[in-house]
Structure 1
Amino acid sequence: MTDQANVQCVLVNRPKGVAQAQDFKLVAGDMPDPAEGEIQVRNHFLSVEPAMRGWIADTGNYSAPVGIGEVMRALAAGEVITSRHPDYRPGDWVTGWFGWQEIATVPASKVVRKVTESDLPLSASLGILGINGVTALLALTKVGQPKAGDTVVVSTAAGAVGSAVGQIAKILGCRTVGIAGGTRKVRACLEDFGFDASIDYKAGPIDAALKAACPSGIDVYFDNVAGAVSDAVYRQLALRARVVVCGTASVADWTDWPSGPRVERILLTQRARMEGFIIFDHPADYEGAVARLAGWVRDGRLTYREDILEGMEACPDALAGLYRGENEGKRLIRLVPT
């Protein structure tokens, strides 16, 4: 074991709802030498995901909850500095489940992929070319199954996933309507991400605006929020609509079943389909999706924004700030200056 300290951000409290800064703590952790089959990665960028709220909930969700005292689970991108695995060598760039820490010593199985897009920023490997962009592409095409001419409505449309969904739907020949919070994000949907229409849910009930923007109904709804916004969308689903459930960001606590309109009657009468999407169910499709997304980025058909915080000190409040709506684009924490 080396004497060098490794700054880590660990979970110290089990939060109710969205974790706050006091639920995390920065500690000086060990930096062990890699064992056989392990690699050591110097993290350059740490990812901040809305899904982290579920990863630390006491009930867990689709993965076991992060334990108290454990390094916060997170995707990160960085450089291999030591390797005891034949598939990796020092100097390789990788993304993987390396956690909120400066140096990760992990089994090679924690790597998601080698980053081979040397002509594109490393930060993109955690956003538009990472879990966000891949989720947008696979969820939209596998579950939403958009056809040219369809009207596609996207909630949190200025976010890392939503903005990609809107642009991909446009590439596929659809008409797009984004729902976002506040005038700046509504403007970003129109000016930066090319939505045909954008609606501000913070301005009040959105039923009339949705009806005006979608006069023939909504063919595909890409739902990142649940709650009142989605209730309004469900009322205007078109015949044989498809609903992609990708997130439930507006519901702070699922301990008590939230109240709201029941969707069964709408699904029945409109012969609509609703399906949840978890990216971890589709590992075989990941690399092909990244290649497709990278091509669109290079061609200028797919753009993205990044919200970059600096240093490990930014970790404890990063998730809470995401849910406060502070970010404009994919939220990342940069550890190594570029």
Structure 2
Amino acid sequence: MKSSAIVLASRPAGAPSPENFRTEEIEIGTPRDGEVSLRVLYLSLDPYMRGRMSDAKSYAKPVEVGGVMTGETVCEVTQSRSPEFKEGDIVRAMTGWRTRAVMDASSVKRVNTHGAPASTALGVLGMPGFTAYGGMKVIGQPKSGETVVVAAASGPVGSLVGQLGMRVGARAVGIAGGRDKCDYVKNELGFDAVVDHRSPDFAFELAAVCPNGVDVYFENVGGHVWDAVLPLLNLYARVPVCGLIAQYNGPGKGENDRLPAAMSAVLRRSLLLRGFINTEFVPTHYEAFQQELGPLVASGEIKYREDMVDGLENAPEAFMGMLKGSNFGKLLVRVS
């Protein structure tokens, strides 16, 4: 059996380009005892993948040049040699950017979205949703009456961060790019306020909608957004740090000047800055996340948005656009 796959053709210098990707046909064989054959339905595209394209030291092993791009997918089991799964089961697996795969059954997880579409297992009920849930539950710990600020508020992590804050009575302030995204955050997600980070008066406008300062800032952007938030952080503010997308393609202007100001604020205002990878919270919080949020998503009480791209061949262009902020919602590729 063969599969179409997109491999890392070369390592990018700065922003990825089409030349960094290559499509290949690869042999995947048939399942042996304890394995399953999978047909990929949806591929998740996420900012962390930019880091995997680099060979710089990180928390995870980089993709080898010539290797299949890493990524989580929702798949249909087409053949099973494991008692755990049967043909037709819908599962999650780290197949990477490909159309088919043969995997050890122990590395495959059954999808249970409590009635929500299967694609949500890669978004609001998947890794991005759990990133928001774990970061807020363990680090942010918002309280009624506090102010929660999150950048990329229309995306799969930020949109849930704000909704989780509102569910405990906190005030949610979103930061997004462009009128359409800002309107979505305010009018559909119901955030208390939203600010466009592209505005020339962004820092002033953010301060105006946070008159009592910021108690929780969920950091997934960095760059000039962090510069605007830092002066607003209250005494004992908490800052879960799950991403720095503004820096993924290389150091930005003034990047080396940010550390002294940040460390001074950490000391003077007793700030808690804690970086995290969502997997560290899986043993203690993942089951509760699934049980708590699954029914809320299925019922529509928790809102989400997906940005669906058709065809595996379009994954590189969609991924490059995502790093520039062109997607609107959780970016997925409908593979088959």
> Is the TM-score greater than 0.5?
yes
Corresponding residue for residue 317 of structure 1: 317
- Show the counterpart of 1:282: 281
Q: Which residue of 1 aligns with 2:102?
A: 105
- Specify the alignment match of 2:111 in structure 1: 115
Identity %: 38
Q: Equivalent residues in 2 for 1:87-166 (5 A)?
A: 87-111=84-108, 113-117=109-113, 119-166=115-162
Instruction: Give the aligned residue type for 1:189.
Output: V
Kindly indicate whether residue 237 of structure 2 is the aligned counterpart of residue 238 of structure 1: no
1:245-324 aligned within 5 A: 245-254=241-250, 258-261=255-258, 262-284=261-283, 285-324=285-324
The equivalent residue for 2:73 is 76
In 1, the alpha carbon distance for the partners of 2:316 and 2:264 equals 43
SS of the equivalent of 2:149 reads: strand
How many correspondences in the alignment? 332
Alignment of 1:208-219 (within 5 A): 208-219=204-215
Aligned-residue RMSD, C-alpha: 1.6
1:146–1:174 contact (8 Å) kept in structure 2:
yes
What SS does the corresponding residue of 1:194 show, helix, strand or coil? coil
Looking at structure 1, the residues matched to 57 and 92 of structure 2 have their Cα atoms a distance apart, in angstroms, of 24
2:102 partner SS = strand
- Normalised by the length of structure 1, the TM-score is 0.94
Contiguous gaps of at least 5 residues in structure 1: none
> Equivalent residue of 2:308, what SS?
strand
SS at match of 1:324: coil
Distance between the aligned counterparts of 1:242 and 1:127, measured in 2?
25
Q: Does the residue aligned with 1:71 lie in a helix, a strand or coil?
A: coil
Aligned-partner Cα distance in 2 for 1:205–1:63: 38
Letter of the 2:202 counterpart: I
Cα distance in 1, alignment partners of residues 318 and 106 from structure 2 = 27
AA matched with 1:259? N
Instruction: After superposition, give the CA deviation of every residue in 1:177-227 in whole Å (9 maximum; x if it has no partner).
Output: 001111111111101211100011101242221221111110000011011
* Superposition misfits of 4+ residues, deviation over 3 angstroms: 252-257
Query: Compared with structure 1, are the counterparts of its residues 269 and 194 closer, same or farther at alpha carbon in structure 2 (3 Å cutoff)?
Result: same
Shift of 1:70: 1.0
Closer, same or farther: CA 252–335 of 1 in aligned 2, 3 Å: closer
Answer yes or no: is the 8 Å Cα contact 1:133–1:293 preserved in 2.
no
Structure richer in helix, relative to its length:
2
